[in-house]
Structure 1
Amino acid sequence: MVHKRLDLAGIESISDQKVAEHLFYLEDQDGQATLEEVLLSSMEWQSSESVPLIEALWKPVEHNPPNFGYSSSVYWFYLPLLNAAHYSSEWVVEIAYPVLDYVDLYVVRKGEVQSFYKLGDKQPFSNRVFDHRNFRIPVSLEPLDQVGIYIRVKTSSAVQVPVSLWTYGGLMKYDQLDSLIIGLYFGLLLVMALYNGMIYLTVRQKSNLHYVLYVICYGFFQAALMGLAYQYIWPSSIHWNDQSILFCLALSLMFGTLFIRSYLNLNHKSPRMNRLYSVATWIGGAFVGLSFVLSYDVMIRLMVSFSIVICLGAMAGGLYLWRSIGRSIQYFTLAWLFLFFGGFILAMNKFGVLPRNLLTENASLYGSAIQIILLSMALVEQLTMERKKRFAAQQRAIVQERLAREAQEHALTLQRQDNERLELRVQERTAELESLNERLKELTIKDSLTGLYNRRHLDTKAEEEYKRAQRERNPLAVLLIDLDHFKQINDQYGHQFGDECLIAAAKVLGDNVQRTSDTVARYGGEEFVAILPGASKEKARYLAEMIRLSIMSLNMSYEGKKVPLSVSIGIVSTVPKEAGRYEELIKAADEALYQAKAEGRNRVLSAN
């Protein structure tokens, strides 16, 4: 069998669907095959543009992504790459399934291992080349170069290996969209949990509490399943990382059944269904304990099957009570339908029926997000209906109060209590809104990358300090700081590393400019400005030298290579003229900065 290499010339990114067309696999049932045997079977070093393979051992991947279910075998994957261009290229190989236990990646050129990476969620997170939830390794190809990527996978989870190839630019674009989706999803979960938690504290309704607990546990389950919890919450807890998926899913099932029982009020409306869900709750609780005893593959199959039963049962319960409750039960039923539908799309994606993209890969996120929104709407609608019922009861009581004074007084008391609770809730919402407004105001004056004040706030603050210095006849100093050779750093190491340099420089400025009356801001690009009220030229120069030396001492490195940083600083310190403007100080400092750069950079110069 002859297989064409995957040519990377002129391509920005290659999805796992395209990669799968060039991917071969080998099943090692006893897990004893060595890399040398695998290399021999693929005859990697004998190939040119085509890769001869021994058909009896290596087989083409039939599903996208490769999916072999739960298996005790070790699987090897082979991806031959070619750079037919006359220029070198840098790539990132990604395996976007973070729950694989052991993942060994080899970069082989002419039969010799050039690079080896030991990954998987059974390894400490700090071992990863890229600080990311998925498994990523860098691959460099010289002009007219060819390499083979060998991947060895052994896992107790489903053997799914979605392999993608990215340039660094393409990867950055994808990560931005992926981070946006993840941020929106978990932000939604947090808002829904907080909102309904506050409602529970107000009305003490069990269904709200069970909903909040369900959302929290399901959020942790998704975070663990997506590798986010391992990346951000417990990066050193290898054993707990696997255990957390089962544990959080079991808690989600338990609190999910409790929510269904309390929301549908099955204890009164359907005792038979209530007994069934009572048993389901106990099964969910048993799963919590069994998650520490049984193996991952056994538990995940049991709980996935049980979750399907719960979804179908919730929809059946909603349909059974469709007409007896009202619009809230419609939200409730649709919520579980969307969760089931999202899980179904994801399953079809995993089994290769549907293509892998942002929609199908995140189907469970979309489905669960819609479910959580609809369940919250159902709770609000239920609360509204109950309030309407209470109001109707009050109206009936008022009619009866015309015949009995005591009944009338009792109804008025109930109405006053309801109004007090409503007023309290309005006050809480007002306080929340004020808090959010304060946070929004903070965001409008801060630079999103460095955390320093932005240009807009600088203009306002500098104008105030300039006028104050005019009135009080005090000196006002301005430092204009510029990172040397920053464009070269961006061009050579990439904008992401350039951003890291800006953040590090901003921290140095914040550490050195500490007076409450001082203002330090990002002026634009790699330039920063410090406004120092009352500072003489000597004090300003001393502070500037401290900043310059601190920047030089920063230990910045890119892929193990030290990258020196330095700054040029222009200074002006004077008592402002009565008819002047602060822009004149900025201009003078800028001229001094220009002169500093002209004299060789990495120095401090004062304006004449």
Structure 2
Amino acid sequence: MKRLTTLLLSMLISASAQAGVLSLAEGDDRLALDEYVFYLEDVDADLTFTEIRSSTAWQANESTFNAGYSASAWWFRLVLDNASERSLERWLELSAPLLDSVHVYVVEADKLVSRYRFGALQPFEERLLPHENFIVPLRWEPGQRLEVYLRVQAAKSLEAPMALYTPKAFAEYDYRRNAAKGLFLGAMLLIGLQNLLLFGSFRDRAYLFYVGFVISMALFLTTLTGWGFRFLWPAAPVWNEKAILLGICLVSGFGLAFIRNLFGPHVQSLLLTRIYRLAYGVTGFGMLVAVIAPYSLGLPFALLPAVMASVIGITVGILAWRRGVAIGKYFTLSWAPVFLGVFIVIGLKLGWLPANVVTRNALFAGVGLEMLLFSLALATRINAERRARLLAQRQVLETERKVKEELEERVAQRSRELDQLNEQLRILSTTDELTGLANRRILESRLAELWRDNKRKGRYLALIFADIDWFKAVNDTHGHAVGDAVLQGVADRIREVVEALGGLAARYGGEEFCILLPGYGLAVAAAAAERIRVSVGEAVYPAHGLKIGVTLSLGVAARVPDTRATYLSLLQQADQALYRAKAAGRDRVCTPDA
């Protein structure tokens, strides 16, 4: 009997819809309205409510309405009959939280009984119910007919999915929907926290940029679903509009930085470097336009970096995969859903694709799959690093075991081998791997030792800071491999001068070098610095088919150590002198006084 009643009720609703009237009964807890709605385009956005009621241009809708980007105002008409024997209460939901303007007219017996106005450009408090979507409560008596008209307009993509609920059914459905969105966004924040902890452990900037990518994506999706306007900035409708464009640009910018740092030297070329720079520039310009220009003008400049980041990501991932980079395969598989989701959403917003469950949730699905797959990729990467460390530990233990066995048989011979190994380890621990100069740790240790010794003897101690001028431009233009070759050549020139004076030369960090000259005063040290400057400046450094020339800026300081100061004061004086040399035009030697 129940099945028969349901069948008859469905036939009644269908027949009514075909006639332009939707007849409702008590059991209709939730009903999608897309196929029961009629629409009319107001091209000049100047038709009055009276004019559209008498218009004959209404068209039947067949699926979720999607006009793409349209300057027109759009009218929708829905006719509802109460076919039950009791009063009905329903909530009409328009699931398009970014619509700029929504006007609702409720007519009963040719009389306008209710009129409402709200939208994404209106303060949130003006809504009838505190919800990210637009909710219109309706109530009508048995046998009563309501005509509901909606006028919507937006500078953004215009979609108008509508559904009718009982208050209880809406509360239950909305609870499940919000729980799903909350879990999704919570998962994004947890993944962001995970990568922040990984950055703290490994100091790999790729993890930090991925944190920015995830957080920016979470904020963008929060804005896109209306939660941002509802919970974060309900009194700032103008910001609600700009947050969408800024969110797109931030996601694109962090995504580009993450991709570039993830693959580093594995996928690098001059062309790719220029493409990255262009993409960064387009992203920055898009953010500027988003702040100062209307939404309609800013949208293309926000979508362009999103498209560029998507294409660059999938391209670099495939290149890395083909070159045998371990994480390249996992990155490509995880980025592909984002790549597809971005283009599906763009097609939806432009009106090229129909609005349905798949297209409206494509970006969410793409981001979710990307996070899941990339989390697996990160786990694989971390496990690989852990296995490498364990293998190294096992190799060390195995080496120790063999050493012990051989020591029992050939103590004297093994002792000499161990002495040689210890010497090599000592050199490695005190030497900069790239240049062969002393590293910063041994420099600071030796400086403290010389400070104490020269203070006791009353002798001068000189210190020189040297910095390669415009070295970042060498790296950015020719790549790090060329930059490394230049660093090695400069180090060789410095070593020639310093060793002749019995001093110590060290790589202090990046393109900066530090030189200790015990027993020499300021004049001799400045002369030595000048010889270094000339030697480096005259040289040409061949690297990867190129011939690079660079110059040095040097700061010199010298003093007799005393009890009133520490060796840090000598470092500070030399650093100030170096700063003076750079400020004076670079390629020169300066002392604290000149």
TM-score by length of 2: 0.61
Q: What's the counterpart of residue 565 of structure 2?
A: none
SS in 2 for 1:404: helix
**Contact 1:394/1:411 (<8 A) preserved:** no
Q: Is it true that 1:40 corresponds to 2:39 in the alignment?
A: no
Q: What's the counterpart of residue 21 of structure 1?
A: 35
Distance between the aligned counterparts of 1:142 and 1:352, measured in 2? 42
Distance between the aligned counterparts of 2:235 and 2:363, measured in 1? 27
Q: What's the counterpart of residue 336 of structure 1?
A: 335
How many Å apart are 1:214 and its aligned residue?
Answer: 0.9
Distance between the aligned counterparts of 1:191 and 1:2, measured in 2? 49
Q: Is it true that 1:8 corresponds to 2:8 in the alignment?
A: no
Q: Is it true that 1:220 corresponds to 2:236 in the alignment?
A: no
Distance between the aligned counterparts of 2:425 and 2:379, measured in 1? 29
Distance between the aligned counterparts of 1:406 and 1:105, measured in 2? 85
Q: Is it true that 1:160 corresponds to 2:176 in the alignment?
A: no
In structure 2, do the counterparts of structure 1 residues 324 and 384 end up closer, same or farther at CA, with 3 Å as the change threshold?
A: farther
Distance between the aligned counterparts of 2:265 and 2:272, measured in 1? 7
Count matched residues: 396
Q: Percent identity?
A: 30
Q: What's the counterpart of residue 422 of structure 2?
A: 405
CA RMSD across the alignment: 3.0
Q: What's the counterpart of residue 86 of structure 1?
A: 85
**Contact 1:192/1:373 (<8 A) preserved:** no
In structure 2, do the counterparts of structure 1 residues 181 and 288 end up closer, same or farther at CA, with 3 Å as the change threshold?
A: same
Q: 1:436-483 CA deviation, whole Å, 9 max, x = no partner? A: xxxxxxxxxxxxxxxxxxxxxxxxxxxxxxxxxxxxxxxxxxxxxxxx
TM-score by length of 1: 0.60
1:245-260 alignment, distance < 5 Å:
245-260=244-259
SS in 1 for 2:136: strand
1:515-526 alignment, distance < 5 Å:
none
Q: What's the counterpart of residue 96 of structure 1?
A: 95
Q: What's the counterpart of residue 130 of structure 2?
A: 131
In structure 2, do the counterparts of structure 1 residues 76 and 215 end up closer, same or farther at CA, with 3 Å as the change threshold?
A: same
Q: Is it true that 1:277 corresponds to 2:303 in the alignment?
A: no
How many Å apart are 1:3 and its aligned residue?
Answer: 3.4
In structure 2, do the counterparts of structure 1 residues 278 and 267 end up closer, same or farther at CA, with 3 Å as the change threshold?
A: farther
Task: Structure 2: state its 5+ residue gaps.
Answer: 1-16, 404-416, 431-594
In structure 2, do the counterparts of structure 1 residues 379 and 279 end up closer, same or farther at CA, with 3 Å as the change threshold?
A: farther
In structure 2, do the counterparts of structure 1 residues 391 and 281 end up closer, same or farther at CA, with 3 Å as the change threshold?
A: farther
Distance between the aligned counterparts of 2:253 and 2:168, measured in 1? 44
Q: Is it true that 1:295 corresponds to 2:309 in the alignment?
A: no
Q: What's the counterpart of residue 74 of structure 2?
A: 75
Q: Is it true that 1:30 corresponds to 2:44 in the alignment?
A: yes
Q: 1:502-536 CA deviation, whole Å, 9 max, x = no partner? A: xxxxxxxxxxxxxxxxxxxxxxxxxxxxxxxxxxx
In structure 2, do the counterparts of structure 1 residues 30 and 354 end up closer, same or farther at CA, with 3 Å as the change threshold?
A: closer
SS in 1 for 2:54: helix
**Which moved further from structure 2: 296-305 or 188-197?**
296-305
SS in 2 for 1:36: helix
Aligned AA (1:289): L
Q: 1:361-417 CA deviation, whole Å, 9 max, x = no partner? A: 33321221221233333344334445555666778889698551144578999xxxx
How many Å apart are 1:153 and its aligned residue?
Answer: 0.8
Distance between the aligned counterparts of 1:298 and 1:396, measured in 2? 62
**Contact 2:314/2:336 (<8 A) preserved:** yes
How many Å apart are 1:82 and its aligned residue?
Answer: 1.2
Task: Structure 1: state its 5+ residue gaps.
Answer: 42-53, 414-608
How many Å apart are 1:309 and its aligned residue?
Answer: 3.5
Q: 1:52-111 CA deviation, whole Å, 9 max, x = no partner? A: xx2xx212225x211111111111111111111222111000110100000011111112
**Contact 1:261/1:274 (<8 A) preserved:** no
SS in 2 for 1:160: strand
Q: What's the counterpart of residue 550 of structure 2?
A: none
Distance between the aligned counterparts of 1:371 and 1:277, measured in 2? 22
1:383-422 alignment, distance < 5 Å:
383-386=382-385, 403-408=420-425
**Contact 1:397/1:411 (<8 A) preserved:** no
Q: What's the counterpart of residue 444 of structure 1?
A: none
**Contact 2:310/2:342 (<8 A) preserved:** no
**Contact 1:210/1:255 (<8 A) preserved:** yes
Distance between the aligned counterparts of 1:140 and 1:218, measured in 2? 40
Distance between the aligned counterparts of 1:81 and 1:158, measured in 2? 28
In structure 2, do the counterparts of structure 1 residues 240 and 190 end up closer, same or farther at CA, with 3 Å as the change threshold?
A: same
How many Å apart are 1:345 and its aligned residue?
Answer: 5.2
SS in 2 for 1:144: coil
How many Å apart are 1:287 and its aligned residue?
Answer: 1.1
**Which moved further from structure 2: 289-298 or 245-254?**
289-298
Distance between the aligned counterparts of 1:122 and 1:274, measured in 2? 41
Q: 1:9-39 CA deviation, whole Å, 9 max, x = no partner? A: 14434444xx222211121122221112222
In structure 2, do the counterparts of structure 1 residues 230 and 177 end up closer, same or farther at CA, with 3 Å as the change threshold?
A: same
Distance between the aligned counterparts of 2:376 and 2:277, measured in 1? 25
**Contact 2:246/2:302 (<8 A) preserved:** no
Larger radius of gyration between Structure 1 and Structure 2: 2
